[in-house]
Chains A and B, each alone.
Chain A
Amino acid sequence: MYFKRHIRLRALAPLMAALMAFQSCRHSTQPESVEADNLQGSISISGAFALYPMAVEWTNAFSALHPAVRIDLSSGGAGKGMTDVLNGMVDFAMLSREPHDEERDKGAIDFSVAKDAVLPVFSASNPLYEKIMAHGITADDARKIWITAEITTWGQLIGTHDDTPIHVYTRSDACGAAQTFAAWFDAVQEDLGGTAVYGDPGISKAVIDDPLGIGYNNMAYAYDSETLNMQTGLEVLPLDIDGNRSVTDEEKLYTTRSTIAKAIEEGRFPAPPSRNLYLVTNGVPADTAAFEFLKFVITDGQAFNEPNGYVRISNASARESMRKLNVGHKGRGLKRDNTQLMTLIAGLVVVLLFLTAGVQLFMRSHIKRRVYRQKLSETMMVILSFSSIAMLIALLWGLWGKAAPMFDKSTLGELLTGTEWKPSQGLFGFRPFIHGTLAVTMLSICFSLPLSLLTAVFITEYAPKYLKSIVNPALDILASLPSVVFGVWGVLTLIPKFGYSLLTASLVLGVMVLPIMVSLFCEIFATVPTDMRDSSFALGATRWQTTRKVVIRKSLPGIFAAVVLALSKCIGETIAVMMVCGCVPRLRGSWLDPFYTLPALIGNNYGEMASIPLYESAIMFAALLLLLLVLLFNILSRVMLYRIEKNS
């Protein structure tokens, strides 16, 4: 009896303590008074990379004025912010493109807060540096590079016969920079070709590292944020604004971030690629802290724009924003943050459990108490156990429910075999993604299967003890490493050799599944009876013959099951693949071409869900597809393993 209570209390004590600590902290950040000098509350902002450095300045200045306000700032592409704000998950979205009409219809109000530009960039170590700088680039050139691929060498760009190839980079995540840049030559983001890299900094890094690279960057990332000079190794490709095939003195605007900022302010730089940057809210903020913050950014905060290399908004648009702030429809505030309610519900469940367990205290008869406890515990266990099945059904049902609108417009066959991925035109072809997923899976198994089979045989049949004591811990280490570490390894050691490519991703995945396969194979080989090996030896077979004809043949079903398990692990891997795949949906490509997989699609794009109709359904359909693929593989391997278990 004592033992029981003791254990139960011990298990719950840290949990309760943690909950209580969290709750008490929470109360201290609740808005209690709203005096201007003692403003409290919390503000959350997410969205575009382009506005992020500026937002950091504003939030720092604002929290110096109002130290009690907590500000959460995260950047993750324009789409993410829009989704969050429309879903009522954050107060402000940082937006670096013009808002869509659908978004305004859903209640989004945009406040122009700064201006900047998206600039084409190339590497300062380009062999043709001087000539490129003198020639510049027109919108038509850019179109031929990113869209039609008519220009594939630097010679074609500057009008010589030099055939150094151009390595084209573009953004993998849905973002304002790509849309603004594409708008410069009347295109949209999904038309842009080239190796896709995640995030603004990703492109500048890729272009700096690749002397033949060309990309495009937000002003804030093309220039160093400390010195306002160009980032070391990066050079802005001057825009040939008048189209005379050479860069005149009036077109040399790019020395520092301040000079280009001045040019934009004075209208000497075309728009696009210069653009407005917005803070978007879901209705005028009802929360005082958020309201004050927005007012601050539009008025006093503008003083921070120029020192940081951004362009101030004009007085007219400041007035317009203030007008919106005063007359715009009031937002309902954030969707009531139900996180606390959820915590409360969880707490209630625990209390209820204790109450039902406490009922026994009122029972006189010892036997009755024991029976009650037995029945209660059994009920709990049944509920928990069957929740697994409920969970599976909920997963399938939930994803299916969200994915179903896809089938209004196209059939299942069209979705699976369609090759065009152009969400803004309503074209959702999943074939390139399925193709990419399966290709990388197969290739990585091709790498790791022979390696792991040989290693496993070596460990179980041949290796001396000291070697085993090296290999086994090494495999254990490999098995416990998180996938993001494999990703870092791929970025640092494989990408410089093979680029963002199928080969890199397959190698990373191959190494990742090695320890799983080796340890499974070793287990399986160990189940082959020693007598069988001995009788094979007795017949004069060599060790290799015994291995090949007895051990491996006997464990064939087990090997099959292990491979299927590794396959399903590869199919679902997200982070490591996202870091090295290049994110280009394509059907035909060599080992060294970038590609795209289903998990990477979900990881990159869940942010854009709100802005394009059906996008959310498409992403959820991808998740459903992935789930079904993995289910199929898993059940296959399970059935195999259970059959083996039954036989042995």
Chain B
Amino acid sequence: MTHIRIRQIEEKVMRGVMLVATLIVLGAVISILGTILIRGCKALSWDMVSKFPGKEWNTAPDGGFLNAILGSLYVVIPAAVIGACISIPVVFYITMYKRRRTGVSYIIRLAFDVLYGIPPIVYGAFAFLVMVGVGMRASVLGGIMVTVLLIVPMMIRSGDEIAKTVPDEMVDAVYSLGATKWETVWVVLKHILPGMLTAFLLAVGRAIGDAAAVMFTAGFSDQPAHSLSDPTATLPLAVFNWIIMPDPFPGRAYAAALVLTILVLTLSIASRVITRRITRLNK
């Protein structure tokens, strides 16, 4: 009797503890979003997202940080496109050309997994070395280079997961019609393209929020970038730099953080909507 009693109490206590834990997690999310939203909305104005820094930028509210928003896009979008061009073939190679379980694809997968785990700051330091070596300045191109390094392992990881859903029978059926492996790629591509799009958006979201890598390579400037060899401001780095500067900069940092959050959340929601639609279609 008492034994059962204890078990029942234990059950109830644990339930309570778990509920509390979940509430703490929810609380953390609300606290973060709330802080960013409240501080950001107070500081954000239309001028800030639609204008370049003006002449009085350093002392008074004059202009906005459109240069940082554009800078982030200049760096991340080309990097994501190049990243897709590199990672889709690799996904095909390790899943189709070498069937999943061979040693070669195991080694390559392991290598990309390891690359995925390397902190962005190490990529940043390495890219800085290379850039000094070949005589490049901190520039949009430098930022793109290092962002490609970040994005490719991410996309391959998720691409690999998606490629698992391609039924072997389908591939075999295409082969049996006499198609070469290359021709089979196009059939499979149709199957995994929506999934890769999700992975693409998620990777862009991750890359756009990363400051550590572009800190060394893209530089920072109050001027909008006009070419690949100009340094550019990026949103996360702008937040990092401005939050410790005297007024009016912290307000700009909060506004930039809000813009960054909105950007990233939009990407994440878009990718989720796509995933949901695909799973519904596949059913």
Binding site for B on A (CB under 8 A): 3-4, 7, 11, 14-15, 18-19, 22-23, 25-26, 28-29, 44, 46, 52-53, 56, 60, 70-74, 76, 84, 87-90, 197-199, 201-202, 204-205, 221, 225-226, 231, 334-340, 342-343, 370-371, 373-374, 377-378, 380-382, 384-386, 388-389, 391-392, 394-395, 398-399, 402, 450-452, 454-455, 457-459, 462-463, 467, 470-471, 474-478, 480-489, 491-493, 511, 514, 518, 542-545, 565, 568, 571-575, 578-579, 599, 602-603, 606, 619-620, 623, 626-627, 630-631, 633-635, 638
Residue of B nearest to A641 (CB): B113
Nearest-Cβ distance from residue B203 to partner chain A, whole angstroms: 11
Residue of A nearest to B24 (CB): A451
**Chain B hits for A205, CB < 8 A:** 244, 246, 250
B174 interface hit (Cβ, 8 Å):
no
B173 interface hit (Cβ, 8 Å):
no
**Chain B hits for A23, CB < 8 A:** 227-228
**Chain B hits for A76, CB < 8 A:** 220
**Chain A hits for B128, CB < 8 A:** 606
Interface pair B227/A22, CB less than 8 Å apart = yes
Q: Mark B217-241, 1 if CB is under 8 A from A, else 0.
A: 0011111001111110000100111
Task: Give complex CA distance A579, B253 in Å.
Answer: 13
Nearest-Cβ distance from residue A539 to partner chain B, whole angstroms: 13
Q: A477-B33, A477-B268 are in contact. Are A454 and B17 (CB under 8 A)?
A: yes
Interface pair A389/B107, CB less than 8 Å apart = yes
B22 interface hit (Cβ, 8 Å):
yes
**Can you give 5 A-B contacts (C-beta < 8 A)?**
A201-B245, A370-B183, A471-B22, A544-B10, A602-B122
Task: Give complex CA distance A209, B132 in Å.
Answer: 40
Interface residues of B in 22-48 (CB under 8 A from A): 22, 24-26, 28-29, 31-33, 35-36, 39
**Chain B hits for A391, CB < 8 A:** 111, 115, 149
Nearest-Cβ distance from residue A452 to partner chain B, whole angstroms: 8
Q: Helix, strand, loop or mixed for chain B's interface? A: helix
**Chain B hits for A633, CB < 8 A:** 117
Q: Identify B229's interface contact among A337, A452, A476, A491, CB under 8 A.
A: A337
B265 interface hit (Cβ, 8 Å):
yes
Interface pair B11/A385, CB less than 8 Å apart = no
Interface pair A343/B226, CB less than 8 Å apart = no
Interface pair B139/A572, CB less than 8 Å apart = no
Q: Identify A73's interface contact among B26, B221, B229, B257, CB under 8 A.
A: B221
Task: Give complex CA distance A539, B89 in Å.
Answer: 52
Interface pair B25/A451, CB less than 8 Å apart = yes
Nearest-Cβ distance from residue A594 to partner chain B, whole angstroms: 15
Interface pair A398/B55, CB less than 8 Å apart = no
Interface pair A26/B226, CB less than 8 Å apart = yes
Interface pair B29/A474, CB less than 8 Å apart = yes
Interface pair B58/A56, CB less than 8 Å apart = yes
Q: A572-B118, A572-B122 are in contact. Are A484 and B93 (CB under 8 A)?
A: no
Interface pair A481/B22, CB less than 8 Å apart = no
Chain B interface size band reads: 35 or more
Interface pair B246/A204, CB less than 8 Å apart = yes
**Chain B hits for A340, CB < 8 A:** 228-229
Task: Give complex CA distance A602, B231 in Å.
Answer: 21
Q: Identify A385's interface contact among B90, B117, B189, CB under 8 A.
A: B90
Interface pair A342/B134, CB less than 8 Å apart = yes
Q: Identify A74's interface contact among B107, B210, B212, B231, CB under 8 A.
A: B231
Task: Give complex CA distance A458, B25 in Å.
Answer: 12
Nearest-Cβ distance from residue B156 to partner chain A, whole angstroms: 8
Interface pair B227/A29, CB less than 8 Å apart = yes
Q: A26-B228, A623-B126 are in contact. Are A476 and B246 (CB under 8 A)?
A: no
Q: Mark B142-171, 1 if CB is under 8 A from A, else 0.
A: 100000010001000000000000000000
**Chain A hits for B231, CB < 8 A:** 44, 72, 74
Nearest-Cβ distance from residue B116 to partner chain A, whole angstroms: 8
B278 interface hit (Cβ, 8 Å):
no
**Chain B hits for A514, CB < 8 A:** 25, 28
Q: A451-B24, A572-B121 are in contact. Are A198 and B244 (CB under 8 A)?
A: yes
**A-B contacts at CB below 8 angstroms, number:** 345
Q: Identify A482's interface contact among B110, B119, B209, CB under 8 A.
A: B209
Binding site for A on B (CB under 8 A): 7-8, 10-11, 14-15, 17-19, 21-22, 24-26, 28-29, 31-33, 35-36, 39, 55, 58-60, 77-78, 81-82, 84-86, 89-90, 92-94, 97, 107-108, 110-115, 117-122, 124-126, 128-130, 132, 134-142, 149, 153, 180-183, 185-186, 189, 202, 205-206, 208-212, 215-216, 219-223, 226-231, 236, 239-241, 243-246, 249-250, 253-254, 257, 260-261, 264-265, 267-268, 272
Nearest-Cβ distance from residue A595 to partner chain B, whole angstroms: 17
Interface pair A3/B32, CB less than 8 Å apart = no
Residue of A nearest to B104 (CB): A385
Interface pair B135/A338, CB less than 8 Å apart = yes
Interface pair B122/A72, CB less than 8 Å apart = no
**Chain B hits for A70, CB < 8 A:** 223, 226, 230
**Chain B hits for A476, CB < 8 A:** 268, 272
Q: Identify A485's interface contact among B21, B202, B209, CB under 8 A.
A: B209
Nearest-Cβ distance from residue A381 to partner chain B, whole angstroms: 4
Task: Give complex CA distance A311, B209 in Å.
Answer: 41
**Chain B hits for A631, CB < 8 A:** 114, 117-118
Q: A455-B25, A603-B121 are in contact. Are A339 and B39 (CB under 8 A)?
A: no
Nearest-Cβ distance from residue A581 to partner chain B, whole angstroms: 13
**Chain A hits for B78, CB < 8 A:** 15, 18
Nearest-Cβ distance from residue A575 to partner chain B, whole angstroms: 5
Task: Give complex CA distance A201, B248 in Å.
Answer: 12
Task: Give complex CA distance A620, B119 in Å.
Answer: 14
Interface pair B209/A626, CB less than 8 Å apart = no
Interface pair B31/A489, CB less than 8 Å apart = yes
**Chain B hits for A606, CB < 8 A:** 125, 128, 216
Task: Give complex CA distance A84, B221 in Å.
Answer: 14
Task: Give complex CA distance A378, B185 in Å.
Answer: 11
Q: A53-B58, A204-B246, A340-B229 are in contact. Are A384 and B36 (CB under 8 A)?
A: no
Interface pair B264/A337, CB less than 8 Å apart = no
Residue of A nearest to B228 (CB): A22
**Chain B hits for A395, CB < 8 A:** 118, 122, 126
Task: Give complex CA distance A84, B97 in Å.
Answer: 46
**Chain B hits for A491, CB < 8 A:** 243
Q: Give the 10 A-B residue pairs with the shortest CB-CB distance, closest first.
A: A482-B209, A572-B119, A339-B229, A454-B21, A26-B227, A202-B244, A458-B18, A480-B268, A574-B212, A381-B93
Interface pair A488/B243, CB less than 8 Å apart = yes
Nearest-Cβ distance from residue A196 to partner chain B, whole angstroms: 12
Q: A72-B231, A205-B244 are in contact. Are A492 and B35 (CB under 8 A)?
A: yes
Q: Identify B221's interface contact among A74, A334, A575, A626, CB under 8 A.
A: A74
**Chain B hits for A231, CB < 8 A:** 246
Interface pair B215/A377, CB less than 8 Å apart = no
Residue of A nearest to B25 (CB): A455
Task: Give complex CA distance A292, B8 in Å.
Answer: 84
Interface pair B137/A339, CB less than 8 Å apart = yes
Nearest-Cβ distance from residue B271 to partner chain A, whole angstroms: 9
Task: Give complex CA distance A15, B79 in Å.
Answer: 10
Interface pair B223/A545, CB less than 8 Å apart = no
**Chain A hits for B108, CB < 8 A:** 385-386, 388-389
